[in-house]
C-alpha cells in the first residue's frame, strides 16, 4: 500500500516571463516558516532565497515542503521574473542583492 495523502489542490501563479531559466538545488530551511491549515510547512514558489533581504541569491522555483525539516529545492539563479506575480513583495535590499549575486531580471506585466 503506497503512503500517499491528498493535501488538496495546489494552485501556483506563473511568475516566469520567459521559458529559459537556470536553477540549482539548495537546502531550503524550515526556520520561520508558518504551518498552513493542514499543518504543513510550505515555502512557496517565488519566495526569495534564503531570505527577503540583502542575503538573497535567487528565487525558489517550486513549492518546497519543509515540514520534516530542511529539504533540497530548486532555486532560480538566472531568469526573467514578473515581479508583480511573486507571492511576497521583494524588499529593496533583496532586489539589489539579486541583481549583484545572480542573473535574475525583472519584467513589468503587460
Of 106, 108, 103, 79, the residue nearest 92 (C-alpha): 106
Looking at the domain assignment, is residue 42 inside a domain? yes
Looking at the domain assignment, is residue 2 inside a domain? no
Looking at the domain assignment, is residue 58 inside a domain? yes
Looking at the domain assignment, is residue 6 inside a domain? no
Mean pLDDT value across residues 73-84: 96
Looking at the domain assignment, is residue 81 inside a domain? yes
Query: In this model, does residue 88 exceed pLDDT 60?
Result: yes
Structural domain boundaries, residue 58: 22-105
pLDDT of the residue at 15: 94
> b vs e for 24-43, b when ≥16 Cβ sit within 10 Å of the residue's Cβ?
eebebbbeebeeeeeeebbb
Looking at the domain assignment, is residue 50 inside a domain? yes
Mean pLDDT value across residues 16-27: 96
Domain tally for the chain? 1
Looking at the domain assignment, is residue 12 inside a domain? no
CATH number at residue 100: 2.40.300
Looking at the domain assignment, is residue 110 inside a domain? no
Angle at the Cα of 85 (from 69 to 92), degrees rounded to 5? Answer: 80
Query: In this model, does residue 3 exceed pLDDT 70?
Result: no
Query: In this model, does residue 9 exceed pLDDT 70?
Result: yes
Amino acid at each position: 500500500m503506497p503512503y500517499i495523502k491528498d493535501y488538496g489542490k495546489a494552485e501556483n501563479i506563473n511568475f516566469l516571463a520567459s521559458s529559459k531559466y537556470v536553477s540549482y538545488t539548495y537546502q531550503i530551511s524550515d526556520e520561520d516558516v508558518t504551518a498552513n491549515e493542514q499543518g504543513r510547512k510550505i515555502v512557496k514558489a517565488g519566495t526569495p532565497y534564503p531570505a527577503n533581504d540583502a542575503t538573497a541569491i535567487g528565487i525558489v522555483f517550486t513549492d518546497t515542503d519543509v515540514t520534516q525539516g530542511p529539504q533540497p529545492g530548486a532555486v532560480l539563479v538566472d531568469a526573467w521574473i514578473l515581479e508583480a506575480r511573486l507571492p511576497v513583495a521583494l524588499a529593496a535590499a533583496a532586489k539589489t542583492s539579486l541583481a549583484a549575486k545572480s542573473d535574475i531580471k525583472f519584467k513589468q506585466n503587460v
